[in-house]
Structure 1
Amino acid sequence: GNAAFKAGDFPAAIGHYTAAVIADPKNPTYTLNRAAAYLKLGKHVDAERDCDATIKLDSKNVKAWFRRGQARSGQEKFMEAREGTEPSAAPDPTSQHTTAPVVKQSASKNTPLSLFNFVRSWDALSSPQARWTFLESVHPTSLPSLFKTSLETPLLVKMLETFKVVLDNAPEVEVKESIKTYLLNMARVPRFTTIVLFMSKIERQLVKEVWDGVDAGDDQVERGARKVWGVS
């Protein structure tokens, strides 16, 4: 299954993972891997189902929670995607109460967003996985205008930390390209070089790690953006 997945033959990978699930239904690795293959094919309902199955077998599986958020986002179930994107958000089966959604409004990449609403929604989310799901609802090209009046260093660092966690947990090419697009557009934020200038040494190292993680190319646009970010 893994060989077929790496070769880009996702239907074949699904077949192999399905055979593995039948042979060993209590192993969460197979449903988790099959969910990844379903995501590649845009079969978000199937991916969500496999993530649910994985979480039932291993409630602490971070990748399963993260991929379920991706699957729900793919179905435009944005509010559900923001809920339960980390193990700590799992409901206690012995409890008579359920956790209310952290963010009540749903969003799409076509929805205008003010800086105030962005910061409020961002601060309401506690995990990098939930914040990434929210960020995916914001079109990258809107970032320069969104942050044209103000972009505080703490928020920028939190966004970078989110990118780093996502890259560590879901290093697929599509994810890398998505994060790179956000980085390129953030470099167009007014006075961005000044913001970067006042970052600490540790924060600049984080910038470098994120850029290294997206496998940046060497074209003129990416070279220019890296320079703005202070990455050689």
Structure 2
Amino acid sequence: MSPLLQLSDVVSGYGRSQVLYGMQLSVQAGQCVTLLGRNGMGKTTTVKSIMGLHPVWRGEICFAGTAIHTLPSYRIAQRGIGLVPEGRQIFPNLSVEENLVATAANRKRVTAPWDLARVYALFPRLHERSGNFGNQLSGGEQQMLAIGRALMTNPELLILDEATEGLSPLVRQEIWTALAVLRREGMAILLIDKNLAPLLKLADRHYIIEKGRVVWDGSSEALRAAPQVQQAYLGA
């Protein structure tokens, strides 16, 4: 079966500085995959390349069997990829509910789409704060809102860049619980985070990158059994 998302020999960078050196990565439908590595190794550049927010110099990115790396970012999103960006980037002057409905769409005519009721059921705290402006929310609530906003586009693939960065342990657990629900419901997920223990429980496959190249990939079981890999590339 063809992957839902496939990166093949992707090369990219900034100005004269190359960041990605032949990135290879795939996500199957319904699969949770992580992209791991220390800071500055190319994780966010990979995400931006997938989403059309950064140009691909060479190589190919395919989604649902179609090349997308030459498309503008809004076209890529419309094809069914939802992004929860690093830093959340919610609309500070819109209410929680307005943030959620601002980008809502069901282009593929999903029979049970993500709507306000489903998002509020996943994150009850957002329901409680539905009338509050984005800049009145805590960091954890903003992250829940960013996830809910992405889900309201009814994506086939959800990408999260630094899913729990800077959040309290209690809020992190709420995010991990929500992601586990999405995984059980069959949502494909590509996830970047530094908290390895919950990732090993959640994900099917892991890619570790070092200086823009994949240096290791495998299952949670394989990564759990390779402390030397964790120490060498993750500092775990």
Which TM-score band applies after superposition, normalised by the shorter structure? under 0.3
Give the structure with the larger strand fraction: 2
Q: Which has the larger radius of gyration?
A: 1
In the superposition, the TM-score normalised over structure 2's length comes to 0.27
Q: With structure 1 as the length reference, what TM-score do the two structures score?
A: 0.27
Higher helix share: 1
Identify the structure with bigger relative contact order (alpha carbons < 8 Å, sequence gap 6+).
2
